[in-house]
A = this chain, B = another copy of it.
Amino acid sequence: MPTQDDVLDRTFHALADSSRRSIVVRLSEGPASVSELAEPLEMSLSGVVQHIEVLQKSGIVRSEKVGRVRTCQLEPAPMRAVEQWIAQHRRVWEGRLDRLGDVLNTTYGRNT
């Protein structure tokens, strides 16, 4: 069973590449086959397949093969996990941000 950390590792990693993000963008408009996903990318088909594998391992993408065509679609859960992770920690600093400007040139004590 993958920990939450594993999910975040894999999802952030999957999205840290602009070819993979463009696949995600394309899939956000609806399912597509491997070769449809490959078409706009200037890369060999097997390069694209490897990107899709990374996306699948992160859980962002699901796929199913019918006949000789593999069709891919998005799975929203991992991206929501990422979005929530960011939102959660953003809330913490935003509560502090108004004070940081002054704090920087004085003491940095933790108030715990």
Q: Which of B13, B83, B96 contacts A90 (CB 8 A)?
A: B83
Q: Assess the B93–A76 pair: CB atoms within 8 A.
A: yes
Which residue of B is nearest A22, CB measured? B5
Task: Find residues 80-112 in chain A having any chain B CB closer than 8 Å to their own CB.
Answer: 80, 82-83, 85-87, 89-90, 92-94, 96-97, 100, 103-104, 108, 110-111
Chain A residue total in the interface (Cβ 8 A): 44
The complex is assembled from copies of this chain, and their number is 2
A37: interface (CB < 8 Å): no
CA distance A97 to B29 in the complex (A): 10
A103 CB to nearest chain B CB (Å)? 7
Q: Assess the A83–B86 pair: CB atoms within 8 A.
A: yes
Q: Assess the A12–B13 pair: CB atoms within 8 A.
A: yes
Q: What are 9 pairs between A and B in contact, CB < 8 Å?
A: A21-B85, A24-B89, A29-B96, A29-B110, A30-B111, A31-B100, A32-B110, A76-B90, A76-B97
